[in-house]
Amino acid sequence: MSGLLDALPAAQQRLLSAAPSGGELATHPMLAVLSDRRVFDDTWVFERKLDGIRALTVRAPEGTRLLSRTGRAMNNSYPELVEALAAQSCEDFTVDGEIVAYSHGRTDFSRLQQRMQLSDPRKARASGVAVTYYLFDLLTLDGKDLRRLPLRTRKSLLRRALDFAPPVRFTPHRNQGGQRELDEACARGWEGLIAKRAEGTYLPRRSPDWLKLKCARAQEFVIGGFTEPAGSRVGFGALLIGYYADGALRYAGKVGTGYDQAALHRLRRTLDGLEQRQSPFADVVRERGVHWVEPQLVAQVGFTEWTRDGMLRHPRFLGLRDDKEPADVVREEPAAG
């Protein structure tokens, strides 16, 4: 056991066990619940909500693996992150974090898209898109599973076990949070805050011990079709999107904004390869010039609100996601505060 773990109180040392495989951890990360709660006591801590993609890194004697939350290897897309973690003096750990790209001082998911689509390390390095990996949790260390330790302890161990320098950074937290702090975060152009129970364990599922406090509404949706372009529009007119409920893909509306010319052409080529004759939606979709596609692509979509009939108001395309399975996409509703 490392010196850091030897220094833990005896009660916390008894919570340690043999670490599971890194692949198992990557495919069962802890996930946050969307919440309208704005009043918290001192048993919570607050981190910045980052607009990027989730990633776990496993450092072991056989090598360093950067994994998506579905367990997909991402070493070739972000070689500089793998190198930074492979160079750590600590040689056995699993960390959880978020990969982001910045534009004008703010995290920019659309800019990150340019790296997400690359699988050649040379092209990734030459893309001109710098990425930063913010680490916020330490799941294993020196062969021991830390997930039963309190969050404060895991973050303290994380800060001391690794050396932090660009492109790898530690995710700081605050001990106070609520409506005022969320308003301040929104004014800075942040996505929002993540509230976490300070003494909480790391659970391999979505849990109310982690809460998403968002500045604006956005979530993932499954693409089930698209319409033909009209006028001077190229590629396609709008994406037809939905979410799963009781095993059925429910229609949530069409998204016609948020694309540049390159995205319209690129997406159309991808969609043409997924075209099918029947609608994947359980609901009747009344649109003209529709092409149905296999529900394999997941899009990040921003919007203002849900309408009474279950459609999105003012939706806008933010980018494709490859870190979430379509079957896991559901309608996010804020948990009661």
Catalytic residues: 49
- Please name the residue that has the structure tokens 């007119």: 237
CB-based contacts of 167, cutoff 8 Å, min separation 6: 80, 81, 84, 130, 131, 132, 133
CA distance 79 to 76: 6
Token reading at 160: 């001391």
Token reading at 26: 């990557």
- Please name the residue that has the structure tokens 């090598």: 63
Token reading at 101: 């790209």
CA distance 94 to 260: 37
Residue 268, SS3 per DSSP: helix
The CB-based long-range contact list for 204-208 (8 Å cut-off, 24+ gap) reads 204/25, 204/28, 204/29, 204/30, 204/147, 205/28, 205/30, 205/31, 206/30, 206/31, 206/32, 206/33, 207/30, 207/31, 207/32, 207/33, 208/33, 208/35, 208/335
CA distance 1 to 16: 10
List Cα–Cα distances, 17 to 9, 138, 139, in angstroms: 15, 14, 11
In 9-92, beta strands by DSSP E: 17-18, 31-34, 44-48, 53-60, 63-67
Residue in 250, 317, 258 with CA at minimum distance from that of residue 285: 250
How many other C-beta atoms lie within 10 A of the C-beta of residue 246?
A: 7
CA distance 243 to 205: 19
